[in-house]
Chains A and B, each alone.
Chain A
Amino acid sequence: MRRDKTTKTTIQNRIYAISSVFRGNISLLAGLCILIPIFFLGFVGPYIFPVKGIRLASYPSDLPPSPEHLLGTDTSGRDLFTVLLYSVRQSLLIGLIAGTVGTVIGVTLGFTAGYKGGIIDDIIRNVTDIFLIIPTWPLLVILSAYLKSLTIPALATLLAAFSWPGTARGMRSQVLSLKERGFIRLARISGESDLEIIFKEILPNMLSYIGVMFGLSMTGAMLAEVGLEIIGLGPAESNTLGLMIYWAIYYNALVKRMWWWIAPPVICLVAIFVGIQLLNAGLDRLYNPRLRR
């Protein structure tokens, strides 16, 4: 590592600083390499690529991929590439909303329970346990079937409601163990207030944990959505990856050897999951100064 920084320009310094974050951190790099294109595809894609034929019967059905239709068309005559772009966005949104809401609730409740202790802890813990006991999947199925007009935001909220207990439980035990650590005592002796201790002492040590819980919540929600769609439940008004898979199965895409219909959504889902895991591993490495070189 050359130390003569005086010969470098500020831009070079900046590049160096940013690249040092990735030094030896393959997970972070790989994770970002996978996720950035997908997010790009979902959120920027519809504005860049020519959007066409999202309406039914816009084109002839079951066309294989061609320069005009990158992923061909489906049985309803829609351009599959367009469908994919919109589906990726919707699925990501579901995951992000459900993940964020679930994590925020879980972190807040888990934190409060762990730090405050006493009656508050008992109450929160019991509520969390009740939610944990409820079998998520059957309940989702029942609710989806019952609430015929389930919108995307409603679905995301429902999924969040099932993901927060796990996070809360995990956060609570993390806080409990951190609470007794020497540096918390020292922080109190040094005059830090409870709020400062929570945000400045405890929270930074939990960022990677929260990241992991968020990743789990997000992927869990996305997976639940796919599961619901495949069995015919869940909202049908917006395009999601799950819905795309559903229609592919409904119209026997596999039998018709239309791999260009069923493969892309599956690959996208797998990529999102793997990307999130890699990103978490990379962030964990980043946040833990002891693991940094």
Chain B
Amino acid sequence: MHAGNTEGNDLPEKFILEAEHLIKEFKARGGEYFKAVNDITFQVPREKPTVISLVGESGSGKTTTGLMVLGLLKPTSGTVKYEGKDIFKMSKKEFWEFRKNVQAIFQDPYEVYNPFYKADRILKITIKKFKLASSESEAKKLMVEALKDVNLTPEEALDKYPHQLSGGQRQRLMIARALLTRPRLIVADEPVSMVDASLRADILNTMLHLKKEYNISYLFITHDLSIAEYFSDRIIVMYRGVNVENGDINEVLSNPLHPYVKTLIESIPIPDPKRRWTKKIRFKIEDLTKREDSSRGCIFYSRCPVATKICSTKQPELVKVGKDHFVACHLYSK
């Protein structure tokens, strides 16, 4: 994965999806503009199914990035390309192909169902819209197969209203829907955050199994580093819209460099009392109500425990620090 420039020798068809210098600006309550997503670039390779995690806390811009990648939100600047073509400039037919191959799973298993209809309607609509079946019996067969893939029985999932299903069942049904079109990429936005711990692992394992079975890549959006480590091949850490560190998951997590990432790792509670926190963490947690102006200096400056003078005046660029490891911090700039 390259930090910035992707032009050069790479043929566009080498990637299923490319996000290039995505920027999204919003108007805050006070009237000023702020960048929720500030120059994010990454690619999903085509050669083998890959899981790329977009990790960040609230306000990091990870969900906004996901929405842009799905074509649900138009970027202020930058492009999202599917098979080399800009998705916001596609013809109707091309966009339909894009939708077919890039699907999504959302966070809230309660919200994604229209309470007016039965839950399995989400399956029926997808089948109809993407012309996946030519008869009702074929459609039913497809649905039952998809349910089997996510460990749901037709009896428990079909013909029910959303409020008659449990949270775990609703989440699984959502995954089944995403599988119907046999997509190349699934954007999963916090798919297990609202699910109980004992069900989480099974859903993640199911998703991993589907990755192998159907060659599906994932863009996995989460705030949970431990789950990201378990699930992904590569990681992109975002802070306030900026990509502060990215690379191969093992390289980054075994040797985190950015002060934010280091602090994040140190702050994760560990299910082992022997490893209790012994000293206080060096980190200022104040003033989240004011969004700092990122054009002047590093986005993490005001809370960084090791910030220096240059950090307040100049924004650091992503530099390569390992085989597949990039960080945006003046400590490592050449």
Cα–Cα distance between A290 and B116 once the two chains are bound (Å)? 9
Chain A residue numbers with a CB within 8 Å of B99 are: 189, 191
Complex interface residues of chain A between 182 and 211 (CB less than 8 A to chain B): 182-183, 185-192, 201, 204-205
A189 to B185, CA, bound (A): 13
Chain A residues closer than 8 Å to B163, beta-carbon distance: 289-290
A251 and B177 CA atoms in complex are apart in Å by 72
CB neighbours of A205 from chain B (8 A): 114-116
Given known A205-B116, A289-B161, contact A185–B72 (CB-CB < 8 A): yes
Interface mask (A156-190 → B, CB under 8 Å = 1, otherwise 0): 00000000000000000000000001110111111
Q: Residue on B with the closest CB to A288?
A: B115
In the complex, which residues of chain A have a beta carbon less than 8 angstroms from the beta carbon of B67?
185
B113 within 8 A of partner (CB): yes
Cα separation A189 to B114 with both chains bound (whole Å): 14
Determine if A189 and B116 form an interchain contact, defined as CB atoms under 8 angstroms apart.
no
> Which of B70, B113, B161 contacts A189, CB < 8 Å?
B70
In the complex with contacts A182-B106, A185-B72, A191-B114 CB distance below 8 A: no
B129 touches A190 (CB 8 A): yes
Measured between alpha carbons, how far is A183 from B117 in the docked complex, in Å?
11
Give CA–CA (A205, B117) in the complex, Å.
Answer: 10
A201 / chain B contacts, CB cutoff of 8 Å: 114
* Complex partner residue of B104 from A183, A189, A192, CB under 8 angstroms: A189
Complex contact B116–A190 (CB within 8 A):
no
- List chain B residues, Cβ under 8 A from A191: 96, 99, 125-126, 129-130
Q: Could you tell me if A186 and B129 are in contact, using CB atoms closer than 8 angstroms?
A: no
Contact with A along B153-187 (1 / 0, CB 8 A): 00000000101000000000010010000000000
Given contacts A190-B122, A191-B96, A191-B99, contact A185 B129 (CB under 8 A): no
Set B106, B110, B116, B125: member contacting A185, Cβ < 8 A:
B106
Whether A181 lies near B126 (C-beta < 8 A) is: no
Say if the beta carbon of B112 comes within 8 Å of chain A: yes
* B122 partner residues in chain A, CB cutoff 8 A: 186, 190
Q: Which of B113, B116, B130, B161 has the most CB of A within 10 A?
A: B116
CA distance A183 to B111 in the complex (A): 6
Do A182 and B129 touch (CB < 8 A)? no
In the bound complex, residues from chain B placing their C-beta under 8 Å from that of A187 are 114, 125
Closest approach, in angstroms, between the C-beta of B27 and any C-beta of chain A? 13
- Report whether B116 and A186 are in contact in the complex, using a CB–CB cutoff of 8 Å: no
A181-B111, A185-B72, A289-B115 known; A190 vs B125 contact (CB < 8 Å)? yes
Answer whether A192 and B125 are a contact pair too, CB < 8 Å, given A182-B106, A185-B72, A289-B161. Answer: yes
CB distance from B268 to the nearest CB of A (A): 28
Residues of chain B within 8 A of A188, CB atoms compared: 72
Does B64 make an interface contact (CB < 8 A)? no
**Hey, which chain A residues are within 8 Å of B116, CB to CB?**
204-205, 287, 289
Complex interface: chain B residues within 8 A of A185 (CB): 67, 72, 104, 106, 112
Query: CB of B103 within 8 A of chain A?
Result: yes
Q: Which of A186, A192, A288, A289 lies in contact with B112, CB distance below 8 A?
A: A186
CA gap between A287 and B114 in the complex, in Å: 13
Within B78-121, the residues touching A (CB, 8 Å) are: 96, 99, 103-104, 106-108, 110-117
Which residues of B (164-212) have their CB < 8 Å from a CB of A? 174, 177
Partner of A182, one of B96, B112, B126, B177: B112
A–B complex contacts, Cβ < 8 Å, 23 sampled = A182-B106, A182-B108, A182-B110, A182-B111, A182-B113, A185-B112, A186-B104, A186-B122, A186-B177, A189-B103, A189-B104, A190-B122, A190-B125, A191-B125, A191-B129, A191-B130, A192-B129, A204-B114, A204-B116, A205-B115, A289-B116, A290-B161, A290-B163
In addition to A182-B108, A183-B111, A185-B104, 15 A-B residue pairs with Cβ atoms within 8 Å of each other are A183-B112, A183-B114, A185-B112, A186-B106, A186-B177, A187-B125, A188-B72, A189-B72, A189-B103, A190-B122, A204-B114, A205-B115, A289-B115, A289-B116, A290-B115
Residues on B facing A (Cβ under 8 Å): 67, 70, 72, 96, 99, 103-104, 106-108, 110-117, 122, 125-126, 129-130, 161, 163, 174, 177
